[in-house]
Structure 1
Amino acid sequence: MKDKAAVNLVAIIILALIGGLVKIYGGIYYSSKSLFVDALTSFANIVALIFTVYFYKLSISPPDIDHPYGHHRLGIGGIIASIAAYSFVAGVSSIELIYSTKYTVQLQAVYYAIAGFIIYSITILLAIRIGSIFRTYGAFTVSELIESIIVILASLGGALYYYLIDYVGAIILTLYIFYEIMVSTREILSITSDKAPPYEILTSIRELFEKNQFTIQDMKIRTIHPGKYHGVFEVRSLDSKNYEEIWKRIENIKRTLLEKYGVESVIEVIPNTNRNKFYKN
């Protein structure tokens, strides 16, 4: 299965490179600004893919002394690399459009735009087959298809009617790149802000403790990575002073938290008297 994924990954990189070369040739030699901007995003797409794979491999490394909760957040490196690559493209595209003069779009540019659309359609299908590790990369790759559709229409209008149609298409693509950068930046902030899990998970966790005859006095859960959490719980046993029985129920809760909700937990049990806490796990 891993070999198949590796073959698909190599195919994606090759197809992305071919798609970028096709677009940049058509954009430069047939004078389409929209196709040129689309070509730049294709090369940024390749950079994003390479770094996404690299940081994904780092993120699945087992916990160590320096990373006791695992390396999950290293996966953010792929998002950062994507933002950096597309920010560069956004800057180059903006300069190109600002200093652009009147030009003539040739009809051949449309053919290259269509070829690029077909190539990236195949690329996305292969990325889907590899799996969910390419979520951020996939978002940018889907944008390639959206851009290709805009480019086909813009370059066609520029060739048949007036170059400004193509120019406006290039502006739309550039603005869309800025939008994607903003969305990915928000994703990084969300992951690194120690945000609590969704309300539905919190509610289910409370119900889990109540089912095992505990009331939660205090609960702090933070997101390490989407689907991975760390929680500290302070609870009180309702029906038993048998420490061995409490231990078994706590161990059952800890196992359920990890397997069902992805929560690594520390649980403190408060006795039903005013004495000091007698259990911590």
Structure 2
Amino acid sequence: MAHNSYYKYTLYPPLRREPAYLRQAVHLARSTGGIASATTVLFRRANITVHVVGDVSGWNQASAGTLLIGDHRDRFEVGPLLAVLGGFPREDIHFIQKPFSKNARLFRSLGSRGEDIPLPVIPQTLAGDRSNVFNRDLWWRMLLRGGLPTAADLRALNMESLDRAARAVSDGRLVSLYPAGGCMDAAKKPWQRGIGRIIKLLSHEARERVQVVLFRFDDFSTLKISRSLRQQERGIRSEPYAVTLRLGAQGSVYDLLGEEAPIDYLSAEEITVRLRQRFVEPFRSTAPVV
């Protein structure tokens, strides 16, 4: 992949209209220590509470390498998740995201403190040499025409991000990802193989200590969260609003997959399927009927 093409495609544009609370977050980050801690303060000012159901003691400290694997059906899980992480506090965080997604562009709008948080992955629907172009990413294909990498280039770019994710958790950082690959119900949809590939990249020693945590938010209103954040900008005290984060299976890679499982010999897809089964077991009953 040509160097210029790579950066043209991964340096996603910031938001066109930045709400004032993003500027507040940047200002607060200077005193709180980071974006996650600043989000915790903003949620508190906006009278938004995030209740965590489950044990966080295995990964609430900095340097505890952690893979957070969860649901993305409500589109703005990143907000309340940051509020939880900032309360620990943990600022050593990354989110695996499409570089053109609203959440990734939100991070870029936060300036230097937010630019390194996303790890970009780009779906094959945007490959320049793809024959079938009529899919959910057609608009972005049209916008970025002339700079679209080939399918092989995309595989290389995505593997680089997954390798960075594996190194990050091995070094004690936290990486969060939505394995269904879009704004959809992870308890009902198949998962992409990325999580399996990350685990395959971990050393045996890292598999013993890196924490894998499955999570799912109860349904919440992104509109209410945004409205409350905007109201606190103007000094208006919002009505209390609560969001619930439920934790499912968690533990080391071996805890979740079983030490008897020959992970070295399992494919990335097989590992992903096994983890999805652990996710579906506790969360199937909370999946909304569609």
For the superposition of Structure 1 and Structure 2, which TM-score range results when normalised by the shorter chain? under 0.3
* TM-score computed with the length of structure 1 as normaliser: 0.27
Is the helix fraction higher in 1 or 2? 1
Structure possessing the higher relative contact order (Cα contacts under 8 Å, 6 or more residues apart):
2
* TM-score computed with the length of structure 2 as normaliser: 0.26
Larger Rg: 1
